[in-house]
């Protein structure tokens, strides 16, 4: 296993009380796997990324039964050692809004050369050669290295940031909302490019998104996150063919799919719970059209409903009925 988190918990202390942003999350990513983490805004996805990259603010408390990257215990590793040995070399991040992260006053290629030289003792000429290779991997012509960020489109800037993250062939590339803020056509092209990149590099990818459509097209495995927990996880094809959790059914309704053009989109009414005062029972209980009394009384355990397919719902025996009902708008309105 490349990355393993078991019972990961992250709490932010604030004047309004503690926020349990990640509350007992299990996550496992294999070598060369593309893993998608999906959920609405506020479910704790970015906090997971910050926990893995040791980027949490001092107000955050992190704990886990296991938090391991290859042979490294990320929980106990000293931050300075993490930054020196793991960050960028082993785990690299393409941050949220990456297309706006470049310095507008410096040529794009020079910025990546600088980032490479900050982490290794190579000459400028060698680093420039590496940038040309990286540009090729992400589908940018090497002449573009001499341009400024404003001469790039949003999609090109995003690809430049991916190139920078790939500089040291990290074992894990983390992309936080890579398509957000790009128009639909550019999103499609970028997803195609990510699929191509994964053919050319050996890195595993952790892709974070609120858009389940992005997951369908790019990932091998998917984890659906809600209210700080993983509510469903499975190989991507299994998750789409036979979703087990009502939240996943709701998410699928809410996003367009190229396989079902013209399907009416149904949004899930309400919003995720306040994580400073999380519900006692199932986190999704208040919005779930299938919730029964027990759902509100205690947290559902995560169970393996099919081989390699986990779900945290007590009503899995009724899944056929729930799938049929979830496809109807009236179910969610009532």
Residues in contact with ligand ATP by the rule CB under 6 A: 12, 14, 19, 21, 39, 41-47, 57, 59, 210, 275
Give 3-state DSSP helix, strand, coil % of the chain, rounded to 5.
40, 20, 40
Nearer to ligand ATP, 59 or 123 (CB): 59
Q: Where are the alpha helices (DSSP H) in 138-183?
A: 154-165
Q: Shortest distance, CB of residue 180 to ligand ATP, whole angstroms?
A: 8
For residues 193 and 203, what is the distance between their CA atoms, to the nearest angstrom? 15
| CA nearest to 59, candidates 118, 19, 114 | 19
Nearer to ligand ATP, 166 or 215 (CB): 215
For residues 250 and 232, what is the distance between their CA atoms, to the nearest angstrom? 13
Q: Shortest distance, CB of residue 202 to ligand ATP, whole angstroms?
A: 27
Nearer to ligand ATP, 224 or 239 (CB): 224
Nearer to ligand ATP, 3 or 225 (CB): 225
* Count of other CB atoms within 10 angstroms of residue 100: 14
| CA nearest to 213, candidates 260, 245, 246 | 260
Given a contact cutoff of 8 angstroms between Cβ atoms, the answer to whether 207 and 287 are in contact is no
For residues 71 and 183, what is the distance between their CA atoms, to the nearest angstrom? 40
Q: Shortest distance, CB of residue 268 to ligand ATP, whole angstroms?
A: 15
Nearer to ligand ATP, 42 or 149 (CB): 42
302 three-state secondary structure: coil
For residues 59 and 11, what is the distance between their CA atoms, to the nearest angstrom? 8
Q: Shortest distance, CB of residue 10 to ligand ATP, whole angstroms?
A: 8
Q: Shortest distance, CB of residue 47 to ligand ATP, whole angstroms?
A: 3
Nearer to ligand ATP, 43 or 131 (CB): 43
Q: Shortest distance, CB of residue 43 to ligand ATP, whole angstroms?
A: 4
Token pair recorded at residue 139: 């589908």
Nearer to ligand ATP, 47 or 218 (CB): 47
Q: Shortest distance, CB of residue 13 to ligand ATP, whole angstroms?
A: 8
For residues 316 and 320, what is the distance between their CA atoms, to the nearest angstrom? 9
For residues 167 and 133, what is the distance between their CA atoms, to the nearest angstrom? 9
């Amino acid at each position: 296993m490349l990355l393993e988190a078991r019972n990961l918990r992250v709490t932010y202390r604030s004047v309004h009380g503690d926020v349990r942003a990640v509350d007992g999350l299990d996550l496992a990513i294999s070598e060369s796997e593309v893993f998608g983490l999906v959920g609405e805004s506020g479910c704790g996805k970015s906090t997971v990324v910050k926990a893995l990259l040791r980027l949490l603010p001092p107000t955050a408390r992190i704990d886990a039964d296991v938090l391991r990257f290859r042979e490294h215990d990320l929980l106990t590793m000293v931050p300075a050692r993490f930054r020196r040995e793991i960050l960028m070399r082993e785990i690299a991040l393409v941050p949220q809004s990456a297309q706006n992260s470049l310095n507008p006053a410096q040529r794009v290629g020079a910025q990546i050369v600088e980032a490479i030289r900050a982490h290794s003792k190579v000459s400028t000429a060698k680093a420039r050669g590496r940038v040309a290779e990286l540009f090729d991997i992400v589908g940018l012509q090497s002449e573009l290295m001499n341009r400024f960020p404003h001469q790039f489109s949003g999609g090109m800037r995003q690809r430049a940031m991916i190139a920078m993250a790939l500089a040291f062939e990290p074992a894990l590339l983390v992309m936080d909302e890579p398509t957000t803020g790009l128009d639909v056509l550019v999103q499609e092209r970028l997803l195609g490019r990510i699929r191509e990149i994964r053919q050319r590099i050996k890195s595993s990818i952790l892709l974070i998104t609120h858009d389940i459509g992005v997951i369908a097209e790019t990932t091998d495995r998917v984890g659906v996150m809600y209210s700080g927990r993983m509510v469903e996880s499975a190989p991507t094809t299994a998750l789409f063919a036979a979703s087990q959790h009502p939240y996943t059914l709701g998410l699928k309704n809410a996003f367009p799919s190229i396989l079902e053009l013209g399907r009416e989109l149904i949004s899930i009414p309400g919003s995720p719970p306040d994580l400073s005062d999380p519900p006692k029972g199932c986190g999704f209980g208040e919005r779930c059209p299938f919730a029964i009394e027990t759902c509100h009384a205690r947290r559902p355990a995560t169970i393996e409903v099919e081989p390699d397919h986990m779900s945290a719902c007590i009503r899995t025996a009724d899944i056929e009925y729930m799938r049929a009902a979830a496809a109807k708008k009236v179910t969610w309105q009532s």
